[in-house]
Amino acid sequence: MGNFLKRWLIKKKLSDGTEKEKANILVEIGNARDTEFIEEMVKLAKSDPSPIVRKNAVYAIGRTGKKQYVEFILQIAKNDSSEEVREYAGLALTEIIGREANQLILNEIYKSKDYVVKKRLIHVLGVIGDRESPKKLIELLYSCKDIEIKKEIMRTLGLFDDEKIIPMIEDASKNEENEKVKIEARNSIKKIKNSRFL
């Protein structure tokens, strides 16, 4: 009887609780890798007004390890209005499919014709990326003509805490004609160098 009551209270808080209550319960569910509340998690990830609740919901879905939610989480990474929620969607993908998430995101970047989605996914790749991701972003940079996408790639390269990519950024910057892209390259190099001291 006690377990039933506890489950009922969790469902009640997920539907009617405060932002803080929902967020905290979602963290607990994610840590437990609990799949019983998956419908509630999906609903919250999709439509809760709070980005804190949405990010915790999408990450909790990822922690379940259920592959059938990869496409749903990818849509959150592409379309959520909150950068933090999109970042957590990327992290949720790595919980489910590991390093394959990097390639999935990269494929979506190449496939997408939507400029905003491309920028969002480039940033997500910077958050979840592995050691190969900077090389792939540089390849994308060389094949790209759009200045805003190039700037986002350069900004994103600054998220990688690896001084080994600085020469790649410098080479790409030398071959770049647009000054705004070069500025982003310099900023990323500074960010990487400064990260050693944090």
Cα gap 48→71, rounded to integer Å: 19
Residue 79: predicted pLDDT: 96
Instruction: Tell me what the mean pLDDT of segment 20-47 comes to.
Output: 96
Taking alpha carbons only, the member of 25, 15, 33, 88 closest to residue 58 is 88
Taking alpha carbons only, the member of 87, 136, 128 closest to residue 109 is 136
Cα gap 59→85, rounded to integer Å: 9
Domains, the chain, with CATH or none: 1-97 (1.25.10.10)
Buried (b) or exposed (e) across 96-125, using 16+ Cβ within 10 A?
A: bbeeebbebbbebbeeeeeeebbbbbbbbb
Cα gap 51→5, rounded to integer Å: 28
Instruction: Tell me what the mean pLDDT of segment 11-30 comes to.
Output: 96
φ/ψ bin of 33: left (φ > 0), alpha (ψ from -120 to 50), beta (otherwise)? left
Instruction: Tell me what the mean pLDDT of segment 146-150 comes to.
Output: 95
Does 1 have pLDDT greater than 50?
A: no
pTM above 0.75, yes or no: yes
Residue 197: predicted pLDDT: 63
Residue 198: predicted pLDDT: 55
Q: What percent of the chain has pLDDT over 70?
A: 97
Q: What mean pLDDT is reported for the chain?
A: 94
Contact by Cβ (8 Å): 45, 82: no
Does 58 have pLDDT greater than 70?
A: yes
pLDDT digits (tens, 9 = 90+) for 98-134: 999 999 999 999 999 999 999 999 999 999 988 899 9
Alpha-carbon 169 to chain mean position: 22
Q: Is the CA virtual torsion 123, 83, 58, 32 positive or negative? A: positive
Instruction: Tell me what the mean pLDDT of segment 33-61 comes to.
Output: 97
Does 5 have pLDDT greater than 90?
A: no
